[in-house]
């Protein structure tokens, strides 16, 4: 699962898929959440797109995993890969 999720280093997500994560989860970096809230308001903008990885959005690299370590995974399911569980050592 950890290797497959690495494909999220490239691509975009619609606001509706990550809104709850950036507004409600404690396991997200506050400055990262603030940046994402600028594109994804608390209501509306469901189809707004943002890159899964802000630093290298068009490169297939390990930045996705680096983001998880500093609590900057855009999708809740991605951030759960690095959340004091069995997958942490693989990330």
Cα separations in angstroms, 61 against 8, 23, 27, 65, 73: 10, 27, 23, 9, 15
Q: Which residues are annotated as a binding site?
A: 8-9, 53, 56, 61
CATH of domain 2-79: 1.10.420.10
pTM above 0.85, yes or no: no
Q: Which residues are annotated as a binding site for Ca(2+)?
A: 9, 53, 56, 61
Q: Which residues are annotated as a binding site for heme b?
A: 8
Q: What is the DSSP letter of 60?
A: -
Ranges of the chain with pLDDT below 50: 91
82 and 90 Cβ atoms separated by less than 8 Å? no
């Amino acid at each position: 699962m950890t290797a497959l999720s690495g494909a999220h280093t490239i691509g975009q997500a619609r606001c509706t898929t990550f809104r709850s994560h950036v507004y409600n989860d404690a396991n997200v970096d506050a400055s990262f959440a603030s940046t994402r809230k600028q594109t994804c308001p608390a209501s509306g903008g469901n189809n707004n797109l943002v890159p899964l990885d802000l630093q290298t959005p068009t490169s297939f690299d390990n930045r996705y995993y680096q983001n998880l370590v500093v609590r900057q995974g855009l999708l809740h399911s991605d951030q759960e890969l690095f959340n004091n569980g069995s997958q942490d050592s693989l990330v």
